[in-house]
Amino acid sequence: MIVIPEHRIREMKARGWWGDVTLDDLFLKHVKAHPDSEALVDPVNAPDIVGGTAERLTWRQTADAVDRLCAVLTAHGIRKDDVVVVQLPNIAELTISYLACLRLGIIVSPAPVQYREHELGYIIAQTDAVAAITNDRIGKQKHGEMLVGLKSACPTLRHVFVLGETCPVGGLDLEPLMDGVTRDQHKAA
């Protein structure tokens, strides 16, 4: 969704203030130039916050994860100009989610991890979000269950993608979905 009038875009480009290079272009440039260098590093306390283990991903691994998430989102009918609520702490999957949505033209509505049903329901209703990406738990709060529970009150919310150790009933376990992406789906994304 481009909300800037076309004449304003032309003016900004003519003045040299805007260009045609996208964030995805810059990301892919780094992937090509430094494929085996570290790109994303989880905080050491990530296991306390979301479970699992803290990750260290190279540019190549990050690009692979972005491609696979793009394939999953596309397979679930999420398209350009759709809104996806992302409620994750500062972990690798947060950046991966943003980059995948950016590449597909999906609008991310970031939600602070402190938000609960009241705030999230309002965000989903105001943005007509079609999906959410969260972790099964963030700290002691069961965010996966919380967002799945909002589906009945928020008719636009079709999918809740859940990372982590336990996916609640009604959620989509994101890790196996990403692991199951075929080579053809991967290339199409």
Q: How many separate domains does the chain show?
A: 1
* Mean residue pLDDT across the chain: 95
Q: What is the C-alpha separation between 183 and 188, in angstroms, rounded?
A: 9
Q: Give residue-wise pLDDT tens across range 96-127.
A: 999 999 999 999 999 999 999 999 999 999 99
Residue pair 49/163 in contact by the 8 Å Cβ criterion: no
> Considering the domain boundaries, does residue 15 fall inside one?
no
> Considering the domain boundaries, does residue 131 fall inside one?
yes
Domain span holding position 85: 20-188
> Considering the domain boundaries, does residue 11 fall inside one?
no
Which domain CATH number covers 80?
3.40.50.980
pTM of the entire predicted model: 0.93
- Whether the pLDDT of residue 184 is over 80: the answer is no
- Whether the pLDDT of residue 174 is over 70: the answer is yes
> Considering the domain boundaries, does residue 7 fall inside one?
no
Closest CA to 63 of 21, 84, 92: 92
pLDDT, position 1 = 73
> Considering the domain boundaries, does residue 86 fall inside one?
yes
Q: Which amino acid is at 68?
A: R
Q: Give residue-wise pLDDT tens across range 32-72.
A: 999 999 999 999 999 999 999 999 999 999 999 999 999 99
> Considering the domain boundaries, does residue 5 fall inside one?
no
> Considering the domain boundaries, does residue 59 fall inside one?
yes
* Cβ neighbours of residue 124 closer than 8 Å, sequence gap 6 or more: 85, 132, 150, 154, 156, 157
Cβ neighbour number for residue 50 with a 10 Å cutoff: 24
pLDDT, position 3 = 80
